[in-house]
């Protein structure tokens, strides 16, 4: 099924900077999920709330319906990330005021902290083998930064396949601060 065109041109930040919507995007990631599977991964979110936020993400083109099948008279949809990138780009960052940026950044940090807490509470004895964090200072121009981001995208592409044998999912989070 086609991942479909964007229906609305709502700024991405207005759509994704809600904690439930960010969690939906993170759960879908580079894979496809049925609405049933998505509900199971977010048991603390009511079904009505989940469907309302999924609809907002679909309307904005961030999430796409890539399949549908009938189950006992109801239609179960399969979801994937849409064509629109699920991140805030440079133009949208420039358009946000300080309070919007602060809220977006804190929402992002909350999601990173939630992932960290999940990894710490895992029963998997090897979970810490996959944990790491650090900071380094880079000296770049805006052109350098664009080049770096493009190269990172190319470098990471082979690791985005959830069906690769013998692998484990890890979250790579990046933050650029001037």
From CA 125, how far away is CA 157, in angstroms rounded? 28
Mean local confidence (pLDDT), 13-24:
84
Element (H, E) at 99: helix 98-120
Most confident of 6-15, 19-28, 85-94, 114-123: 19-28
- In a domain, residue 172? The reply is no
Mean local confidence (pLDDT), 51-76:
91
- In a domain, residue 168? The reply is no
- In a domain, residue 84? The reply is yes
- In a domain, residue 60? The reply is yes
Full residue range of the structural domain in which residue 37 is found:
12-159
Single out the residue of 145, 142, 144, 171 nearest to residue 156, CA to CA: 171
Q: Three-state DSSP class for 173?
A: coil
Q: What is the pLDDT of residue 2?
A: 45
- 143: domain CATH number is 1.10.10.10
C-beta separation of 64 from 3 below 8 A: yes
- In a domain, residue 3? The reply is no
Domain count, the chain: 1
């Amino acid at each position: 099924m086609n991942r479909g065109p964007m229906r609305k041109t709502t700024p991405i930040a207005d759509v994704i900077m809600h904690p439930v919507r960010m969690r939906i995007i993170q759960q879908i990631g580079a894979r496809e999920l049925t609405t049933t599977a998505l509900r199971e991964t977010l048991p603390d979110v009511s079904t009505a709330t989940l469907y309302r936020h999924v609809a907002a993400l679909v309307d904005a083109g961030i999430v796409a319906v890539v399949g549908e099948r009938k189950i006992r008279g109801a239609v179960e949809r399969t979801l994937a990330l849409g064509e629109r990138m699920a991140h805030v780009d440079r133009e949208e960052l420039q358009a946000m005021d300080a309070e919007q940026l602060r809220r977006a950044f804190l929402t992002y940090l909350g999601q990173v902290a939630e992932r960290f807490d999940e990894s710490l509470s895992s029963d998997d004895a090897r979970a810490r083998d996959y944990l790491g964090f650090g900071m380094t200072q880079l000296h770049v121009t805006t052109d350098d930064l664009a080049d770096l981001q493009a190269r990172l995208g190319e470098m990471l592409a082979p690791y985005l396949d959830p069906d690769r044998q013998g692998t484990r999912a890890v979250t790579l989070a990046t933050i650029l601060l001037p």
